[in-house]
Amino acid sequence: MADLSTNFLGIKSPNPFWLASAPPTDKQYNVERAFEAGWGGVVWKTLGEAGPPVVNVNGPRYGAIWGADRRLLGLNNIELITDRDLEINLEEIKATKKNWPDRAVVVSLMVPCEEEPWKKILGRVAETGADGVELNFGCPHGMSERGMGAAVGQVPEYIQMVAEWCKQHTDMPVIVKLTPNITDIRRPAEAAMRGGADAVSLINTINSITAVDLDSFAPEPTIDGKGSHGGYCGPAVKPIALSMVSEIARNPETHGLPISGIGGVTTWRDAAEFIALGCGTVQVCTAAMTYGFKVVQEMIAGLENYMDEKGFETIEDFRGKAVPNVTDWQYLNLNYVTKAKIDQEACIKCGRCHIACEDTSHQAITNMVDGKRHFEVIEEECVGCNLCVNVCPVEGCISMEPISGVDPRTKKPVDPDYANWTTHPNNPAVWAKEAAE
């Protein structure tokens, strides 16, 4: 059976599944229940000290986006960092680590952007025996208005400065948690690396308003007739998280920087995708809040089965394997051509593929043949966009089949030279270079 154990920055855990800094990791009771269920580690909900006291709202804290089947796709939260007493948190962290020495216990921190508060709280955390710290530079609401959280994470110079302070004042591994609310995620990652950070974690929540109540005309969640922007998380943010992780993983300036992946991890497959893009661990929040702590057992079993099927003994055997296959658009092989193919036995004759293609794409799918309802691809009209695959309600009914190469300018068949696409005469990058010359 596959070995799921991880060694991230010297922090060992029995599997790569950590609970992210969030309500599920707010206290010893929750964390120990999580460990009993099988989680490999936790990032304790963000601690703070100095500055105005943290007081959370006593009304609704979450807004939501659901799918047609009422499945939760995304959560918007307006909760702040922990409002529990710092001393109580520190005592519980120490007790939890003592009780569960084989599990990773990392502590999330957020204090004003001054050296002394960081020095002070780092010393207090070190006394608990915690395995490391995560600097919360990502929270987009409440704390950012106080000059913390995303307000720091959006300024690379601040990230570097605070990371340097923390590395000076602690021997614990320092992880910098990045905000996605920024134009180019590579810049803050580079700043964290310059500051000496041992790793980055991403993504934190995305600034959002999930809905507006059309009776009260206030954003949801609504507190006494008013609402505010919050942090968006859950399955819906996974594509954004994967993209940002890949940008850091393939950036020469951050090559080798360890990454803890966060954002919409709900199944073992999600976790495997983050690992394939270079992540050493994955952090989970919304899935646990939706399904409970035992959801990790399905994640563990699924990842073990996948690795056994592929012949991977440890996660290091496939970590980062997808990174070389992430490229810029200009290097995509335009000689590679696919056409849609409909499995007539699997087709339920709903017509969604036809109407999507007819109304919004390339009129490449029939709806009638010999006076009968029949859906079939008109190959010469199909451009291989795969919209039909994505709207079809029957999984596997429509597939994309590769065919011989076609010159994108002449539309005539060619003999594609896949091995040298970067210098191939059909490559747009080559066209641009020729035009410039």
The distance of Cα 240 from the centroid of its chain, to the nearest Å, equals: 6
pLDDT given for residue 410 in this prediction: 56
pLDDT given for residue 56 in this prediction: 75
| Residue of 139, 233, 353, 382 marked catalytic | 139
Q: How far apart are the C-alpha atoms of 344 and 391, rounded to whole Å?
A: 16
* Strand residue runs (E) in 20-83: 41-47, 62-66, 72-77
What domains are defined for the chain?
6-325 (3.20.20.70), 329-436 (3.30.70.20)
DSSP string across 181-226:
-SS-THHHHHHHHHTT-SEEEE--PEEE--EEETTTTEEES-BTTB
Q: How far apart are the C-alpha atoms of 255 and 169, rounded to whole Å?
A: 26
Q: Are 263 and 283 in contact (CB under 8 A)?
A: no
pLDDT given for residue 141 in this prediction: 64
pLDDT given for residue 427 in this prediction: 65
The list of the chain residues with pLDDT below 50 reads: 417-419
- Counting beta carbons within 10 angstroms of the beta carbon of residue 302, is it exposed (0 to 12), middle (13 to 18) or buried (19 or more)? middle
Q: Are 426 and 407 in contact (CB under 8 A)?
A: yes
Q: Is 437 helix (H, G, I), strand (E, B) or coil?
A: coil
| 221 cis-preceded (ω within 30 degrees of 0) | yes
Instruction: Provide the whole-model pTM.
Output: 0.89
Catalytic residue flag (residue 357): no
Query: What digits encode the pLDDT tens for the residues 364-386?
Result: 999 999 899 999 999 889 999 99
Q: How far apart are the C-alpha atoms of 35 and 105, rounded to whole Å?
A: 11
Q: Between β-strands 199-202 and 174-177, what pairing exists: parallel, antiparallel or unpaired?
A: parallel
Q: Is 308 helix (H, G, I), strand (E, B) or coil?
A: helix
- Counting beta carbons within 10 angstroms of the beta carbon of residue 374, is it exposed (0 to 12), middle (13 to 18) or buried (19 or more)? middle
- First-residue to last-residue Cα distance in the chain: 57
Query: What digits encode the pLDDT tens for the residues 132-171?
Result: 999 999 776 656 666 666 678 889 999 999 999 999 999 9
Long-range CB pairs of 404-412 (<8 Å, 24+ gap) are: 404/337, 405/335, 405/336, 405/337, 406/335, 406/337, 407/335, 408/334, 408/335
Residue 403 sits at φ, ψ, to 5 deg, of -130, 180
